[in-house]
Amino acid sequence: MSKKVKFSLVFRDMWQSAGKYVPRVDQLVKVAPAIIKMGCFDRVETNGGGFEQVNLLYGENPNKAVRQWTKPFHEAGIQTHMLDRALNGIRMNPVPVDVRKMFYKVKKKQGTDIARTFCGLNDTRNIIPSIGYAHDGGMISQCCLCVTFSPIHTVEYYTKLAFELIEAGADEICLKDMAGIARPVSLGEIVKNIKAKYPKITIQYHGHAGPGFSMATILEVCKAGCDFVDVGMEPLSWGTGHADILAVQPMLKDAGFDVPEINMEAYMEVRTMIQEMMDDFLGYYIPARNRQMNSLLIGPGLPGGMMGSLMTDLETNLESLNKWKEKNNQPKLSQDQLLVKLFDEVKYVWPMMGYPCLVTPFSQYVKNMALMNVIQMEKGKERWSLIADDIWNMLLGKSGKLPGPIAPELEAKAKEQGREFFTGNPQDPYPDELDTFRKEMQENGWELGEDEEELFELAMHPQQYRAYKSGKAKADFEADLAKRKAEKCAGKGSLTLPQTVVVEVNGEKYNVVIGANNGTAAPAQQAATPAAAAGSTAGSKELTSPLEGKFYLVKSSGDTAVKVGDTVKKGQTVCYVEAMKTFNAIAAEEDGVVVEICQTSGASVAEDDVLMKIK
């Protein structure tokens, strides 16, 4: 009898791997029946960290989206699964235990069946607690082997890891080949080893197409006993996305596997709807390069799920860097030149940073570090001159044990800055916080939501949720979208820039300047004003932003913000600039008193914008 291989459509990841955003809930609900009608999917990936946060970014409630999106699949008997970043939950930084436990209960009640838990460090201290939390919440626990290619990440390494997770209670194992750079034969050997000891364990393969190994890998893992394969579909397959079901299904059928047939009429229906979503607004956030296969990705090993946002972020960083170069009479860089420099720097810093698997959030940490090094060195500054707090936490062991040692020069830099290495349980430094967030919701008069899902959303994504509730997130998104649409029209000669339009959010009107700076939004009636200066600012020193991003005085609700009149010391962190999903600490450059805070919390800032004045 032929071995059955089943398919999972990674609909959420298809979008994230292509660009920055995912469809609105009305679009998701519209496409779901056609996906079901295709008749070839036993599972659909419906949500995850990126899904939750980007919904908040453009002003949509992710809890309502998840409930409506998963409902038709449940009714059709199709399982749904989502990503879980273990210690980090569904965000970029560690999550307290009470919030982690709540996560599984909320998502199960919203209609998600399977929690796909992964840790980019493959630290089982981060993963194993999630097995128990998932079971307590009624979910299936699928634990990942985050697969990459390095001297450390061998077949023996992954076989041992799988055995430990299965013995700890994992229901399933996922081979998460997030960059698509794992070698096909090696992955087949890992599956074979697992099935030899645990023949009944379900194994699912997830891999990206970009570097070019994916079809060979799928065939190898299926021959070794893999049960489920993640696939994509046009027009979001291949490139930085996933192999297309239209190619995977006949390949496996020809190899003798029992695979479901595809309703091609429904396939074309889904394909058409995806294109309509891209034409509506999502295509403005999908760089053309992400639709291409690129074997250069084998070198840096950056994950497909990150490449979508990377190329979008790169546009902004390139523009900012070239402004500096123009101002300093230096030749500008092209996007290709910056990309090659970035890829080379990733290859250089990755071993020095301890070989963390390049998957969220550690892929962002390594990529951000590499990009920051490139930008700083292009400006004549030293490598490692700006290291974000989250990156330091990873290097110091606060996110878990790194697979390899960090470079001596980073050890020396940590010692120089008085930073201590951590060898304890990564969860211990993060006390419970639900009561604090519950109090905040009560004080703001916010509803806790069905199954307290709104409380969960605030606790999991504090900054994004507050921006969503205030309407600022939607205003900023509408401003950015209007800017992109206007620039496209201007490229066709039909619009003169800059131009001001008015966007209305929750009854409040915002002026949006398109084609000047970043197209950020300020209220039409009265722009938000930063903190007033304390006396004269004459003789004060301006503290400027080293990069483009969003300005915050604190990065978590429990922190105390610096205020006008405060005395600060040289080297003291006084604010943050959030860029590329990490908070970069901005330190005072000398002792003094804060006489003016020049930006409002959450404001978009460009490189060299004045953040505050210290006298």
Name the band, by pLDDT with cuts 50, 70 and 90, for residue 524. Answer: very low
**Can you give the three-state secondary structure of 426-443, one letter per residue?**
CCCCCCCCHHHHHHHHHH
Going by their DSSP bridges, the two strands 140-146 and 172-177 should be labelled as: parallel
What's the first-to-final CA gap in the chain, in angstroms?
80
Match 């105390």 to its residue by tokens.
Answer: 560
**Can you give the three-state secondary structure of 206-261, one letter per residue?**
EECCCCCCHHHHHHHHHHHCCCEEEEECCCCECCCCECEHHHHHHHHHHCCCECCC
Q: Please tell me the least confidently modeled range out of 26-35, 42-51, 71-80.
A: 42-51
Segment 529-553, tens digit of pLDDT: 455 555 567 778 999 888 888 899 9
- Residue 91 pLDDT > 90, yes or no? no
Going by their DSSP bridges, the two strands 521-523 and 508-514 should be labelled as: antiparallel
Segment 232-254, tens digit of pLDDT: 999 999 988 999 999 999 999 99
Q: Please tell me the least confidently modeled range out of 52-66, 179-193, 233-247.
A: 52-66
- Residue 101 pLDDT > 80, yes or no? yes
Residues of 385-397 as b/e, b for ≥16 C-beta within 10 angstroms?
ebbbbbbbbbbbb
Q: Please tell me the least confidently modeled range out of 283-297, 361-375, 398-412, 537-551.
A: 283-297
- Residue 114 pLDDT > 70, yes or no? yes
Report the CATH architecture of 541-614: Beta Barrel (2.40)
Q: Which residues pair with 8 in a beta bridge?
A: 43, 230
Amino acid at 444: N
Domain ranges of the chain: 6-290, 471-527, 541-614
- HSE value, Cβ hemisphere, 13 Å, CA-based, for 267: 18
Assigned token pair, 213: 């190994």
Match domain 6-290 to its CATH number in 1.10.3720.10, 3.20.20.70, 3.40.710.10, 3.10.20.600.
Answer: 3.20.20.70
**Nearest CA among 231, 310, 236 for reference residue 277:** 236
Q: Burial level of 151, CB count in 10 A (0-12/13-18/19+)?
A: exposed
pLDDT at 508: 54
Q: Please tell me the least confidently modeled range out of 174-183, 320-329, 410-419, 498-507.
A: 498-507
Segment 126-163, tens digit of pLDDT: 999 999 999 999 999 999 999 999 999 999 999 999 99
The continuous run of DSSP H or E covering 26 comes out as: helix 25-37
Residues of 330-360 as b/e, b for ≥16 C-beta within 10 angstroms?
eeebeeeebbebbbebbeebbebbbbbbbbb
Contact 89, 100 (CB under 8 A): yes
Name the band, by pLDDT with cuts 50, 70 and 90, for residue 493. Answer: very low
Amino acid at 166: I
- Residue 276 pLDDT > 90, yes or no? yes
**Nearest CA among 26, 100, 93, 88 for reference residue 60:** 26
Q: Rounded to whole angstroms, how far apart are CA atoms 395 and 317?
A: 24
* DSSP codes joined into one string, 504-554: EETTEEEEEEETSTT--EEESSS----PPPSS--TT-EEEE-SSSEEEES-
Q: Over the chain, what is the mean pLDDT?
A: 88
pLDDT at 254: 97
pLDDT at 368: 87
More confident residue, 354 or 472: 354
pLDDT at 215: 97
Name the band, by pLDDT with cuts 50, 70 and 90, for residue 602. Answer: confident
pLDDT at 534: 54
**Nearest CA among 460, 394, 590 for reference residue 62:** 460
- Residue 289 pLDDT > 80, yes or no? no
pLDDT at 531: 59
Q: Rounded to whole angstroms, how far apart are CA atoms 145 and 126?
A: 13
Q: Rounded to whole angstroms, how far apart are CA atoms 248 and 215?
A: 7
The continuous run of DSSP H or E covering 304 comes out as: helix 304-327
- Residue 218 pLDDT > 90, yes or no? yes
Name the band, by pLDDT with cuts 50, 70 and 90, for residue 525. Answer: very low
- Residue 308 pLDDT > 70, yes or no? no
- Residue 420 pLDDT > 90, yes or no? yes
Q: Which residues does 319 contact at the CB level (< 8 Å), separation at least 6? A: none
CATH topology identical between 6-290 and 541-614? no
